[in-house]
Chain A
Amino acid sequence: MPEIKVTPLGAGQDVGRSCILVSIGGKNIMLDCGMHMGYNDDRRFPDFSYITQNGRLTEFLDCVIISHFHLDHCGALPYMSEMVGYDGPIYMTHPTKAICPILLEDFRKITVDKKGETNFFTSQMIKDCMKKVVPINLHQTVQVDDELEIKAYYAGHVLGAAMVQIKVGAESVVYTGDYNMTPDRHLGAAWIDKCRPDILITESTYATTIRDSKRCRERDFLKKVHETVERGGKVLIPVFALGRAQELCILLETFWERMNLKAPIYFSTGLTEKANHYYKLFITWTNQKIRKTFVQRNMFEFKHIKAFDRTYADNPGPMVVFATPGMLHAGQSLQIFKKWAGNEKNMVIMPGYCVQGTIGHKILNGQKKLEIEGRATLEVKLQVEYMSFSAHADAKGIMQLIRMAEPRNILLVHGEAKKMEFLKDKIEQEFNVSCFMPANGETTTVETNPSVPVDISLNLLKREMALGGPLPDPKKPRTMHGTLIMKDNSLRLLQDPHSDADTLTRIYTHLKSVLKAYTIQHLPDGTVMVESIVIKVSSTAEEPNIKVILLSWSYQDEELGSFLSTLLKKGLPAGL
């Protein structure tokens, strides 16, 4: 039995350093090649020695597919391709290819320049790595080699995020990457057709969560900002450069436009400008509204949002500032926060999760006095708000995707083991399919039952039709006689004109059409009876092409018998 093997090197019962190996139909594919945010040592990258102890990966991998540009999905890519060694194709979508190197470079700078690590990939390595990338489009079937093909589907989540279908022959696997089933202000919802893969490898970040409507959160957010600005306060929104930042920008921009507001909105520069540029370019990857209106105005060409200069922080009057980083632990966002924290008119809105120990986490927990850099204490008077904007599918979304794709098996990755457990039970209960959740390094094997396609000759098919009977029913097997030829890699089913049984059937059909008034029977012992006349077909082994037709009748049926013999002497009509 053919089988598909899936081994997570990362993201197995874990979030971070997504890296999943799939063996399907004799091909090995690596899905994502990410890094782990939580570690600074070797555990940061997937353990590539699992694939091979020494030597390059090229000969073991047929291709690498990157689902989107988040570092936990692509952070280890230069390390793998340049330092471990891989020269095969790397597939990613156009936006991912464009944005990925920016993030990698940023990541490199922080680790090497700031933390002073050595033995890390260089800028040149990132460039070399990106040269190996083959960009793909949505719904485009890419032939990696003769047998392996991949196809990308829209996944929402971030710009350019894709789900991929990997197909070898009749076997297929779908890997979702990260995806979002509810549309947001700048991206649409994930979609896949009923492709019925053998395995669906899905993320399960929010396996145990069902989220509230997006609109409430948006409305709350806007109301908060609006009220603060109206009273003349300043709003600080600490964000990470890509993804949610753009969503919030669009949200505020359209709201400003709608409500005719005049207060300035600033975006602290850096990565964002470059990234915004790509958002402007890849309009086709955004949601319906942006796609439809970009002819009049590209939504990412912000009218109200301007670049931030650090001197602006002291300007009087209301303003809204987006600043990096998102957890208020360093950089510009922290500087601005220090300046504004003393005024109760101001507000800080944390749009995402904050790690313990960061200032963000402290203020969210209601701490009113902060010690900064060990010296001065900072009194926090400004209002602190928390708004969660997350772009992963919740439990319902995951179920919805499963229903859309109708897979035969499901494999959960990118989530916590305990939560997966719950979802696994639910999936098995609702869909009655088997569900796996391998840990890192653990291999899951799924047996497949692929259908073997056989070409059938047109003549055989036509004859089969002419023999009558109901139209072919896809759900019912049907027997037919023919010769199976296996040649090279193809199978062909041909008409076999030489078997006796076949000739007899043709005679039977012919007679049936000519002699309507008589009873004609095709008996299972290989004879045809017309009334009482018996017709048999035989041939010798030496000359199988010469058929001897035997007619026997009794004297009473002389008339019919001679008629039949003359009829058969004329031969069969060409159609049969």
Chain B
Amino acid sequence: MMAAHLKKRVYEEFSKVVQQHPLEEVPAKKLRLTKPSKSAALHLDLCKATNPTDALQYLLQFARKTVEAESVEGVARILLEHYYKQETDTSVRLKIASLLGLLSKTQGFSPDCIVDDAISTLNNEKSHQVLAQLLDTLLVIGTQLPDSVAITQRLIEVACKHLSDTYFGVRNKCLQLLGCLGTVDKPLTKESDATTGTSGAPTRDVQSVISDYFADQDPRVRTAAIKAMLQLHDRGMKLQQTIYNQACKLLNDDYEQVRSAAVQMVWVLSQLYAESIVPIPSSNEEIRLVDDSFGKICHMVSDGSWVVRVQAAKLLGSMLQVSPHFLEQTLDKKLMSDLRRKRTAHERAKELYASGEFSSGRRWADDAPKEKVDTSGVNLIDSGACGAFVHGLEDEMYEVRTASVEALCLLAQSSASFAEKCLDFLVDMFNDEIEEVRLQSIHALRQISIHITLREDQLDTVLAVLEDSSRDIREALHELLCYTNVSTKECIQLALLELLKNLTKYPTDRNSVWKCLKFLGVRHPTLVLPLVPELLSTHPYFDTPEPDMDDPAYIAVLVLVFNAAKSCPTMSALFSDHTFRHYAYLRDSLSHLVPQLRLPGKKLTSGLGSEACGPGSGSVESARLFLQDSLAHVSMLQSLEAPGAQDLLDFTIRDLQRLGELQTELAGSADFCATYLRCQLLLTKALQEKLWNIAVPLCLKQNAMASAAVKQILEETYKLEFLYSGLETRQVATIHHVRLQAKALQLVLTARTKRGVDPLIGISEKFIQEVESFQRLFMSELPHFQESFVEKLLEVMPRLVACKPLDLVKILQTTLRQSGFLHLKIPEQIHRASATIIEPTGESDNPLRFTTGLVVALDIDATLEHVQEPQNTVKVQVLYPDGQAHIIHPKPGDFRHPGPGRVRLITQVYLSHSAWTEPCQIEVRLLLAYSSSTSKLSSPKPAWNESTEGLPQTESSIEGTIPLSKPVKVFIMPKLARR
């Protein structure tokens, strides 16, 4: 016992070394020592075990440890040996079987060596549970060796053999095996002399074998059979159409899991054989398979189990090939009252509207049934698709309703006529009891709104939601209104009225409402035109009082009018004098909401602005040309030391910055180029300093300047790398290259200022590592780096590695100065990440008072643009006047996605501080966190078992933050608690 204990101790100590290794870079040699002990320890343990319970305990402990790829085989052998020789207890055998499966998954281990043994264990096994587990192990092995045809074939044979087992678990696993490994090109050979007495054709393909089990007595096996079939489909095998009928039968199974899987299968088949023809039972007609299956899945929307209902509703959304006739049936529900035909509320609303009698008070029996229904004609059981969505949208479970809305939306996007029909139903969903569903139906309506024009009564219902107390709902609705087409000028008036009401009720919606009105104006200039005098309250004879320019409601009206006026030149004739003045003011203060107008006789904003921002696409093209030209000029420069080169660079940077301001579409690219050029300029300037010639003690000042430049360059390179999206590898390499140069310069500077060699050793080693990692990362890009700094370095690399730090510094110094200027290739589409804090506005003079020691929540509302993975990268920073800075990570749920590339952050940050005597301002801003290890191009992390002799750690990852938004000041006042 003692020996075993010692052995374990030894083993454990070694295992610790393994885990620490990546941190401390222990030489690889030490590690080899541990490997044999692994299997040996287990062997000893198992031999020691006197009873099954002990053995099981050992195995359980063993399962918690990791095994190196090299020793897996040994361990597996020991386990198998133990399995054969001694074990009578099923639980131990079971555990061994499951361990074999786990071991087979070890990376870098090829389990083909234990396949034979694993298969042969099956033959003698009596316990069904162990058998199932062994098959599971075989499944793991099989999936690890997808290329070995022979093994796959053997495993399939094994599976077929055990398919007739009486235990459902074994059958399940066999089916799973067949699903994961079965092939369709090679028909399965069932050994004709096998003990199973089945006669018939000796060769059957895997699909027909699996489909035999669709009628199994056990629902779990039926489910497994369908899943196996779906697995085959996932693996790219074409399912045969013959199983369609079987699958349809399974839709009526007693068990929900079977039905659920069957729905999927019917769907898969409908996608595969959409156009084939199937007969309708009990009639001579035939229909397309996709229509038939659509009807059947629709039927499942009123299934007894909500899981199935959800699934059916979801799948409906992706059946786009269905015929329009069937599609429209899904919304069909013939109403009947006391055997008389009745019109639905939707139909009535439409008729009322058509007859011009909108919104008359409802009388009793207004919906009184009209004509008598022919009793034989009424179909109470929905045949096929009838009313599927009517059911789905009225379902008890909100999951089903959500799924139905989703499906409705998808189907409507591809069919304009269906979109028209489902409009009423979606609008009805705005009144759902659960907010999520309401929100989703608003989004859905927005997505299909290109197809539809809202009627006045429909718009009325939609607008009623504007009073909702949930901000998300209101904003979603504003978004929807931005895309909505309406039919009459009354609609515009109605919408404006409701939006203004919304504005007075919820003043924080200001921006959103304005934006909404902007689009409403742009979309319906002709409808706005007749409303203008009323909206601006102008009078043909009398002057009306000038409205208050600060009134958000008035601004809202103006935004609507001005945007409509953009494509309706006659409108401006209706403006009064103050309107023109207000226009000039708004054009300046809210330029994103108010477009450039061509006003007759008024040259208020002539010249610069109108030319730069004039007609759209042409100017973008010319701006792009300009950008390319300027970069081309710069690329003529061979070296930046040439006279006039720096001036040119200076001018180009200035031009680019201006271009970015003028042409928002190119802002990203222009900024990016300008920043890059500035880095180059800084680098050149730093190198040009006279410091290289002066004796060390005399050049402190220059040194300081140069090191400041280095710092700035490093900062800028991180910005370049992480703030811009859409970079290509080439650009990232260029950025890294600049950074490398800056680091080299830093090294040189350190060498000059610091006395002694010791501090240099570490830094220079690190530098060399960085050069190496650059080479590794950007191998493919190296040809573009001719004559560059890095190329020159790599030429002398062998020397660098060997030489002393001081020599290295010398080499670097000369290389830096000799290396040419690396030109930038303009990337196609670059966007700069940016953020604006909308709330708090920073305008409030009332300090936020709270008791010290307690917290106060500050609402933050910000929009982010072009930020990738905002959930992980965006942080909120709070800076207190005493210099304390807190960084807060917003919850993932606080980020909403109103549109592509845009993210809205609505969160709360908690503030707290000790008592102050006076209110003071704190600064709130958003930061973009980065770490160089998450860089877009960093090499994939080496697997843990590789790290032993792996390359030295690539880059010590550098983490930092980049300010993303302008800071906003908030007045706060923590007070002492009153006693």
Q: Does A471 contact B (CB under 8 A)?
A: yes
Q: Complex: how many Å from CA A154 to CA B429?
A: 25
Let me know if A369 is at the binding interface, CB within 8 A.
Answer: no
Complex Cα distance, B342 from A215, in Å, reads 17
> Which of B30-38, B464-472, B515-523 touches A?
B464-472
Q: For B396, what are the chain A residues with a Cβ–Cβ distance below 8 Å?
A: 183, 188-189, 287-288
Chain B residues, CB < 8 A from A288: 396-398
| Cβ contact within 8 Å between A289 and B302 | no
**CB of A383 closer than 8 Å to a CB of B:** yes
Residue of B302, B365, B394, B469 touching A214 (CB-CB under 8 A) = B394
- Name the contact of A258 in the complex, choosing from B166, B361, B395, B469 (C-beta under 8 A): B469
Report whether A216 and B362 are in contact in the complex, using a CB–CB cutoff of 8 Å: no
In the complex, what's the smallest C-beta–C-beta distance from A322 to chain B, in angstroms? 19
Q: Does A217 contact B (CB under 8 A)?
A: yes
Q: Are B431 and A213 interface neighbours, CB within 8 A? A: no
Give A223 to B346 CA distance when docked, in angstroms.
15
| CB <8 Å contact, B469 and A259 | yes
Q: CB < 8 Å: which of A192, A395, A471 contacts B164? A: A471
| Contact between B335 and A212, CB atoms less than 8 A apart | yes
A188 to chain B, nearest CB (A): 5
The reply to whether the CB of A222 lies closer than 8 angstroms to some CB of chain B is yes
A402-438 vs B, CB cutoff 8 Å, 1 = contact: the mask equals 0110000000000000010010011000100000000
- The contact string, 1 if C-beta is below 8 Å from chain A, for chain B 311-343, is 000000000000000000000011111110010
A474 touches B217 (CB 8 A): yes
- Complexed CA–CA distance, A400 and B396 (Å): 14
Residue A193 CB within 8 A of the other chain: yes
| Contact of A194 with B469 in the complex, beta carbons under 8 Å | no
A216 & B217 in contact (Cβ 8 Å cutoff): no
> A215-B431, A258-B469 are known contacts. Are A403 and B381 too (CB-CB below 8 A)?
yes
Q: In the bound complex, how far is the Cα of B336 from the Cα of A359, in angstroms? A: 28
> Within the complex, what minimum Cβ distance (angstroms) separates B697 from chain A?
72
Q: How far is the CA of A400 from the CA of B785 in the complex (A)?
A: 73
A257 vs B435: C-alpha distance in the bound complex, in angstroms? 12
Which residues of chain A in 211-237 are interfacial with respect to chain B, using CB atoms and an 8 Å cutoff? Answer: 211-220, 222-224, 226
- Asked if A209 meets B336 with Cβ closer than 8 Å, knowing A404-B304, A468-B197, the reply is yes
Chain A: minimal CB distance from B912 (Å): 26
Which residues of chain A are within 8 angstroms of B61 by Cβ–Cβ distance? none
- Nearest Cβ in chain A — how far from B430, in angstroms? 8
A350 to B362, CA, bound (A): 12
Enumerate chain A residues within 8 angstroms of B541, measured Cβ to Cβ: none
Residues from chain B with Cβ under 8 Å of A365 in the complex:
364
Question: In this assembly, does A384 line the interface, its C-beta being within 8 Å of a C-beta of chain B?
Answer: yes
A563 interfacial contact with B, CB 8 Å: no
Kindly list chain B residues whose C-beta atoms are within 8 Å of the C-beta of A218.
431
Q: Is A473 an interface residue (CB 8 A)?
A: yes
Tell yes or no: B497 within 8 A of A by CB.
no
The B-contacting residues of A in range 179-213, CB under 8 angstroms, are: 182-183, 185, 188-189, 191-194, 208-213
A219 touches B467 (CB 8 A): no
Are A419 and B338 interface neighbours, CB within 8 A? yes
Chain B residues, Cβ within 8 Å of A395:
336, 380
Query: Contacts A208-B336, A364-B364: A396 and B380 contacting too (C-beta < 8 A)?
Result: yes
The residues of B that contact A289 with a CB separation of less than 8 Å are: 398, 433-434
Would you call B433 and A213 a contact (CB within 8 A)?
A: no
Residue B574 at the chain A interface, CB threshold 8 Å: no
| Chain A min CB distance to B812 (Å) | 65
Cβ contacts B392-424/A at 8 Å (1 or 0 each):
011111100000000000000000000000000
Chain A residues contacting B333 (CB-CB under 8 Å) are 210, 212-213
Closest residue to A186 on the B side, CB-wise?
B433
**Smallest CB–CB gap between A310 and chain B, Å?**
28
Known pairs A182-B394, A193-B304, A209-B337; A216 contacts B467 (CB<8 A): no
Residues of B within 8 A of A396 (CB): 380, 382
B433–A185 touching, CB < 8 Å: yes
* Count, chain B residues at interface, CB 8 A: 50
Chain A CB within 8 A of B592 CB: no
- Least CB distance from B50 to A in Å reads 30
With A287-B396, A422-B375 as contacts: A210 and B336 at CB distance below 8 Å: yes
Contact B394 A386 (CB under 8 A): no
CB B421 to nearest CB in A, in angstroms, measures 14
The answer to whether the Cβ of B344 comes within 8 Å of any Cβ in the partner chain is yes
- Asked if B428 contacts A216 (CB within 8 A), the reply is yes
A405 closest partner in B (C-beta): B304
* Chain A residue at minimal CB-CB distance from B505: A260
Assess whether A183 is in contact with B364, with CB atoms less than 8 Å apart. Answer: no
Name the contact of B197 in the complex, choosing from A185, A258, A400, A469 (C-beta under 8 A).
Answer: A469
In contact, A472 and B217 (Cβ under 8 angstroms):
yes
* Residues in B neighbouring A472, C-beta threshold 8 A: 217
**Residues in chain B near residue A211, CB distance under 8 A:** 335
Segment 420-470 of B: residues with Cβ below 8 Å from A: 425, 428-429, 431-434, 461, 464, 467-470
Q: State the Cβ distance, A492 to closest chain B Cβ, in Å.
A: 22
Q: How far is the CA of A220 from the CA of B344 in the complex (A)?
A: 13
A378 contacts B by Cβ under 8 Å: no
- B254 close to A (CB within 8 Å): yes
Nearest-Cβ distance from residue A77 to partner chain B, whole angstroms: 30
Contacting residues, chain A, for B364 (C-beta < 8 A): 350, 364-366, 384, 386
> B197 to chain A: which residues have CB within 8 Å?
468-469
Chain A's closest residue to B386 (CB) is A396
Interface residues of B in 243-299 (CB under 8 A from A): 254
Contact B361 A194 (CB under 8 A): no
Q: How far is the CB of A266 from chain B (nearest CB, A)?
A: 22
- Residue B469 contacts which of A224, A226, A260, A403 (CB distance < 8 angstroms)? A260
Smallest Cβ distance from A183 to chain B, in angstroms?
A: 4
Instruction: Give the B-binding residues of A (Cβ under 8 A).
Output: 182-183, 185, 188-189, 191-194, 208-220, 222-224, 226, 254, 257-260, 287-289, 350, 364-366, 383-386, 395-396, 399-400, 403-404, 419, 422, 425-426, 430, 465, 468-469, 471-474
Further contacts, 8 of them, CB under 8 A, given A188-B396, A208-B339, A260-B469: A208-B336, A210-B380, A212-B342, A213-B390, A258-B468, A289-B433, A419-B339, A474-B217
What are 12 inter-chain pairs, A to B, with CB distance below 8 A? Answer: A194-B254, A208-B336, A209-B337, A212-B333, A212-B335, A215-B431, A216-B344, A216-B428, A219-B428, A223-B461, A400-B302, A426-B378
